[in-house]
Structure 1
Amino acid sequence: MSVTIAEELLLLAHSDDQGKSLINAMQLDPALAGALLAELAVHERLELSDKKVTVKDASPTGDAELDAVLTRVAGQARSRSPLWWIQKLQSGGTRRRLLTRLVASGVLTEERGKVLGVFPVTRWPEAHHGVEADVRERVSAVLAGATPDARTAVLIALTHAVHLTRKAFPDADKARVKEIAEGAWAADAVAKSIAAATSAAMTAVLAATVVTAAS
């Protein structure tokens, strides 16, 4: 079953049994936006630096969510930074669409209820563990020393950026996680793009936290 990096991140960010999010929306939504940008870099559609996102190839990837982002970036008259794009793309709507896709593909189920009989809540427990099991196997192998592919490097970098690693992989070696997150696994343009997306996601999380604390 083919899923995007953002969907893999969602699986890691929710508990298997109860479907509760392990991190808050201020952390998760920028990470998902970063995952979409990074995956377009993996597909060689975008190239990211600290200061700008450049379209290398505007042809569709075949995934509706990725192609919607690619179209928006290609249609922007001025070059914008990864942080600018993450702040534009992050939303509860993006998160909801990706979760709904996982439900439609049979990976998750959607359960609605109320807390204290009053406050509505939606949870996303797993229906099929095979997809997340494959993701965890890939990530665990890299954290144990295997050379990462670009997709797995994105996942590790983003989980590190939003403090999900210690919850999803509590026994992970911190030095190894940091090595992957900083792009030390490769020196090509894709690795640099992943590092730029990750840095921007982390900055977006910090900015949202500061705004919330000040309000």
Structure 2
Amino acid sequence: MNVTIAEEVLLLALGEEDGRQLIPNMQLDSALGGAILAELAVKERLTLTGKKVTVVDNAPLGDGELDAVLARIAGDGKERRPEWWVQKLYSGKLRKRLLERLAARGTLTEQRAKVLGLFPTTRWPEADGSVEAEVRARVAAALAGNDPDAATAVLVAVLHAAKLDRKAFPGADPKRVKEIAEGQWAGDAVAKLISTINSAIMVAVTSAAVGAATSASTGG
């Protein structure tokens, strides 16, 4: 089954059995936006010109989420920083759409319930663990010292930026995670891409946290 990097992040962000999220929404939503941006770059639709995102090929990839973001960036008419786009893509609606896609494919199961019999909640436990197992095997090989491909390296970088790496791979060597996240194994162009997306997600996470704190303090 073909899954996007964002969907791989989402699978690793959920408990396999109970479907609980391992990190807060603000971290996960920033990671998903960054993952989509990074995948478009890995697939050579976007590049970094200086510190700005530039569309180099607007041909659709055949994935609704990726193609929608590509068209949005191409139609914006301005070259903007990755941080701007990650924050613009930050959305609980994106997370919900990806969850529903994975459920429709039979990878996850949607379970609705009520906390204390009053507050509705939804969990997404796995229905088919084979997809996540393949993702984990790929990441584990990279963490063990193998050179990752660009997509796997981006995945590790996104997990690190969202502070999900320690929860998804608690036994991982932090130094190795950092090496991959900083692109130390790769050529200059790929290393720059991975490092920039990594930084953009961290900025988005911080901005979301500040916004949430401000809203709470003002009662907004």
Q: Which residue of 2 aligns with 1:63?
A: 63
Q: Which residue of 2 aligns with 1:202?
A: 202
* Greater RCO (Cα-Cα under 8 Å, separation 6 or more): 1
User: Deviation per CA, 1:132-160, whole angstroms, max 9, x where unpaired?
Assistant: 00000000010000000011101110111
- Would the aligned equivalents of 2:183 and 2:190 in 1 still touch at CA under 8 Å? no
Q: Distance in 2 between matches of 1:23 and 1:82?
A: 22
Q: Distance in 2 between matches of 1:48 and 1:86?
A: 14
Identity across matched positions, percent: 64
- Would the aligned equivalents of 1:5 and 1:155 in 2 still touch at CA under 8 Å? yes
Q: Which residue of 1 aligns with 2:158?
A: 158
CA RMSD across the alignment: 1.1
Q: Distance in 2 between matches of 1:15 and 1:51?
A: 36
Q: CA deviation at 1:162?
A: 1.0
| Aligned residue type for 2:160 | H
Partner secondary structure for residue 187 of structure 2: coil
Equivalences, count? 215
Change over 3 Å in CA distance of 1:182–1:70 after alignment to 2: same
- Would the aligned equivalents of 1:111 and 1:123 in 2 still touch at CA under 8 Å? yes
- Would the aligned equivalents of 1:34 and 1:201 in 2 still touch at CA under 8 Å? yes
Q: CA deviation at 1:20?
A: 0.5
Uncovered stretches (5+) of structure 2, i.e. residues with no partner = none
Q: Distance in 2 between matches of 1:4 and 1:211?
A: 28
- Would the aligned equivalents of 1:41 and 1:194 in 2 still touch at CA under 8 Å? no
Alignment of structure 1 residues 26-105 onto 2, 5 Å: 26-48=26-48, 51-105=51-105
Q: Which residue of 2 aligns with 1:21?
A: 21
Uncovered stretches (5+) of structure 1, i.e. residues with no partner = none
- Would the aligned equivalents of 1:48 and 1:194 in 2 still touch at CA under 8 Å? no
- Would the aligned equivalents of 1:179 and 1:185 in 2 still touch at CA under 8 Å? yes
Q: Distance in 1 between matches of 2:63 and 2:6?
A: 12
Q: Which residue of 1 aligns with 2:112?
A: 112
User: Deviation per CA, 1:161-201, whole angstroms, max 9, x where unpaired?
Assistant: 11111110000000000011111121242332222111101
| Aligned residue type for 1:171 | G
- Would the aligned equivalents of 1:47 and 1:190 in 2 still touch at CA under 8 Å? no
Q: CA deviation at 1:208?
A: 1.5
Partner secondary structure for residue 75 of structure 1: helix
TM-score, normalisation: structure 1 = 0.97
